[in-house]
């Protein structure tokens, strides 16, 4: 029940998150939000942005992935247009060095934020990154969250995505749980207890979107 309430609440932040992503992503790469796959140039910019969110980038691998996506652009266009979600995921996951985190980010930017095909939104998987995993585990008390490096085809990973889909509010897609990334990045930052003064971190529990559902209210204040 807690997750259903959280998913419904996060869905109300859609307009805010779309506005945020306009500044954070689309204005930076100079691509209109709804034209991510209109042409190959727009698509290349989207891919470059998503690939560069990976930590410890290997340049050679980055170039191979960019070449892979460039060669498969028309096929991706086709899969999006025809609503072939599984084929689309498999194609994206097959890119060099692309796992569940980057792969699902690519699909989220195109389908969710880019609104390339609304029928595919319910098929999107939630990218499991550091922030999302931490909020699921520490704030919402889930013990079935897969590791960040888990294969997108692993049993644990797929079961978790199915679990999220089964525990969303009616009419809400599981992709809204990815907004927990913003919660972890902005509201729920760790306090460094080894530091003194005002540089220790932020205590924004009272402003957090999911404060009413967190299992540790004001947790950083008590450190």
Q: Tell me what pLDDT residue 192 has.
A: 65
Half-sphere exposure of 24 (CA within 13 A, CB side): 11
H runs (alpha helix) in the chain: 2-11, 14-21, 27-29, 40-51, 59-71, 73-82, 85-93, 100-107, 130-134, 155-166, 180-182
Q: Evaluate whether residue 25 is within a structural domain.
A: yes
| Domain of 29, in residue numbers | 21-121
Q: Is residue 79 part of a domain?
A: yes
Instruction: Say how many Å lie between the first and final Cα of the chain, rounded.
Output: 29
Q: How many domains does the structure of the chain reveal? A: 1
Which residue reads 């897609």 in tokens?
A: 173
pLDDT in tens, 140-151: 999 999 999 899
Q: Tell me whether residue 136 is in a domain.
A: no
Query: How confident is the model over 104-121, as a mean pLDDT?
Result: 97
Instruction: Please indicate, yes or no, if residue 95 is contained in any of the structural domains.
Output: yes
The DSSP result for 12-61, as a single string, is: TTHHHHHHHHIIIIIHHHT--GGGTTSSHHHHHHHHHHHHTTSSS--HHH
Cα(113)–Cα(91) distance, integer angstroms: 20
Is position 75 within any domain?
yes
Whole-model pTM over 0.85: yes
Judged against a pLDDT cut of 90, whether residue 57 lies above it is answered with no
Quote the CA–CA distance of 172 and 154 in Å, as a whole number: 25
Let me know if residue 29 belongs to a domain.
yes
* Residue range 72-99, pLDDT digits in tens: 999 999 999 999 999 999 999 999 999 9
């Amino acid at each position: 029940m807690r997750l259903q309430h959280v998913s419904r609440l996060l869905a109300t932040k859609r307009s805010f998150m779309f506005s945020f992503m306009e500044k954070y992503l689309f204005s930076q790469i100079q691509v209109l939000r709804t034209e991510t796959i209109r042409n190959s140039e727009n698509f290349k910019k989207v891919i470059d942005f998503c690939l560069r969110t990976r930590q410890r980038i290997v340049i050679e691998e980055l170039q191979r992935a960019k070449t892979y996506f460039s060669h498969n652009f028309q096929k991706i266009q086709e899969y999006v247009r025809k609503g072939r979600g599984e084929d689309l995921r498999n194609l994206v996951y097959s890119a060099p060095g692309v796992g569940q985190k980057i792969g699902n980010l690519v699909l989220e930017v195109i389908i969710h934020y880019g609104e390339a095909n609304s029928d595919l939104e319910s098929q999107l998987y939630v990218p499991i990154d550091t922030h999302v995993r931490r909020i699921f585990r520490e704030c919402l008390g889930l013990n079935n969250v897969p590791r960040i490096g888990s294969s997108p085809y692993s049993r644990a990973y797929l079961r978790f995505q199915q679990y999220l889909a089964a525990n969303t509010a009616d009419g809400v897609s599981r992709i809204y749980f990815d907004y927990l990334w913003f919660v972890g990045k902005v509201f729920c930052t760790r306090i460094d207890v080894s530091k003194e003064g005002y540089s220790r971190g932020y205590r924004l529990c009272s402003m957090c979107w999911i404060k009413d559902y967190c299992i540790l209210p004001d947790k950083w204040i008590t450190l």
